[in-house]
Amino acid sequence: MRRKIALIGSGFSGMSAAAYAAKQGYEVHVFEKHNQPGGRARQFTTEKGYVFDMGPSWYWMPDIIENFFNDFGYKASDFFDLVSLNPQFEMIFNDGKIAVPESYEDLKNLFNELEVGAGEKLDEFMKAAQFKYQVAMQDFINKPCHSWKEFLSPKIAKSALKLDLLTNFRSYVAKYFDNPKLRVLMEFPVIFLGASPKNIPALYSLMNYGGYALGTHYPMGGFYQLVLAMQKVAESQGATFHFNKTIEKIHTHKGKVTSLVINGENHFFDLVIASSDYHHTETLLDVNLKNYTEKYWKSRTFAPSCLIYYLGIKEKITNIKHHTLFFENDLDEHIDAINRNRKWPENPLFYACCPSKTDSSVAPSNCENIFLLMPLAIGIKDNEELREKYLNIMINRLEKLTKTENLLSKIEYKRSYCVSDFVQDYNAYGGNAYGLANTLSQTAVLKPKIRNKKISNLFYTGQLTVPGPGVPPSIISGKIVSHELNKLKFKDDEKKVLTEDPYLSLTTTREFL
């Protein structure tokens, strides 16, 4: 008889865990509160034909995503067309702009134009970044991180100094480049990790390799094509998806999950994997069974929340790329507003994505699909007045770049999404958008544990546990947790016994040792 798994949530880590667990022979049921898979990566279509990806838009580390499909005998190309963007993105400064080319040789030439000898320095930087990327992907990122003993190996010890774990990223970049624009350009990738470059270990220069060297890509039809592809893979292995299903309570007995209350009904399972928000999942348990207290969560450094606008523009716009970063203002000032002052930024940075420049299917003819994102502190209040204030700020700067007048009057579709929406839709702690920041004190073993310490058959996966935030790490997280299932030993008691658990009827009792 196959063991029955409940998987809470169908974000990237949930779909990954579902696919791997089903492949291992488990009966997997995925429960999603929304009417579609994807979690933060959902997609919606308007009446006029605008197609908006709601969350992730940067397709980096394509090798990690390809490895997922390869594990099941597929290729990404079996499901969608992946195109390489050129330029990868454009970064706007107050005195100019930089377009990051697809070709690495062209990137070196660009660096040399901005700083004498910077192309050779880029080679040195990327050689070290490639080494970190390879070591991290082979020896670090796939570990469950129960103990530091997992990292005790001659290979890791030999590599330790080259990984620059104790050097902060900003100081590390400054050793290579003097030009302020190049420094900001090289610091940008680690912003995805949720903290200031001053507080991120230089190990994460691997992000520069995973982005700039391996390229920035886009799946035609939108990022949601990756969601649909992963769902198909999980279903091909036997996983079943259930939508519009909310988990209301996790019942336990003698150190084991016995059942879940789903939409008011009790359902029994042998194992539970929570891909939902870690903090929220633990509110579904009795207080004494939580891994972490409220004090613990308040002490963590979270990656930002954000203000997002989905805009349908009823004419074509010139001078804007697929990805554009508006960095005219001071990066540290914006980061301090997020991490230190916990307030709306006075001089914000923001990001614009215009996928209709690459993909005509995401907007009506002669129209543009624009996604605006501004990072924010978690836990702050947001209302319509504040949202509109910052929309106007972003639109003004977009008009300046594109030399477009009266852009507000050309918006025929508008939807905003902010801190309170992340809480409402995803039960996200503080309304965070990306999980925990990858600071040194929140790395590897120091992250929230992948397994409940008091309940033997409850596991966690996703951006609040190992290996960390981002789409590729979330996919890896699902693989890690599925492999942890194989460490469980089962003992079947074939006798029908009446247990003390009021939520169990006369049935076969499975003991987890």
Cα 263 from Cα 265, distance rounded (Å): 6
Instruction: State how far the alpha carbon of 372 is from the alpha carbons of 36, 50, 325, 340, in Å.
Output: 23, 15, 10, 24
Among residues 124, 125, 129, 126, the alpha carbon closest in space to that of 204 is found at: 129
- Give the CA angle between residues 59, 64, 66 to the nearest 5°: 85
Q: With b meaning 16 or more CB within 10 Å and e meaning fewer, what string describes 265-284?
A: eebebbbbbbbbbbbbbbeb
Residue type, 347: N
| Residue 147, both tokens | 């103990």
User: Residue 201, Cβ neighbours under 10 Å: how many?
Assistant: 20
Which domains does the chain show, CATH number per domain?
Answer: 4-41+61-76+223-300+434-512 (3.50.50.60), 107-207 (1.10.405)
Q: With b meaning 16 or more CB within 10 Å and e meaning fewer, what string describes 309-336?
A: bbbbbeeebeebbbbbbbbbbebeebbb
CA pseudo-torsion sign 305, 332, 469, 301: negative
By percentage, how much of the chain surpasses pLDDT 90?
A: 88
Average pLDDT, the chain: 94
Counting as low any pLDDT under 50, the low residues of the chain are 492-513
**pLDDT the model gives residue 165:** 87
Q: Which residues pair with 371 in a beta bridge?
A: 310, 353
Cα 26 from Cα 21, distance rounded (Å): 6
375-409 pLDDT tens trace: 999 999 999 999 999 999 999 999 999 999 999 99
Task: Give DSSP secondary structure letters for 113-179.
Answer: HHSTTHHHHHHHHHHHHHHHHHHIIIIITT---S-GGGG-SHHHHHHGGGGTTTSBHHHHHHTT---
H/E element, 23: helix 12-23
CB 372 within 8 A of CB 352: yes
161-214 pLDDT tens trace: 899 988 999 999 999 999 999 999 999 998 878 889 999 999 999 999 999 999
CB 464 within 8 A of CB 448: yes
**pLDDT the model gives residue 505:** 38
- Give the CA angle between residues 466, 452, 261 to the nearest 5°: 110
CB 259 within 8 A of CB 249: no
**pLDDT the model gives residue 1:** 80
Q: At what angle do helices 12-23 and 471-485 cross, to 10 degrees?
A: 30
HSE of 114 in the Cβ direction (CA atoms, 13 Å)?
Answer: 25
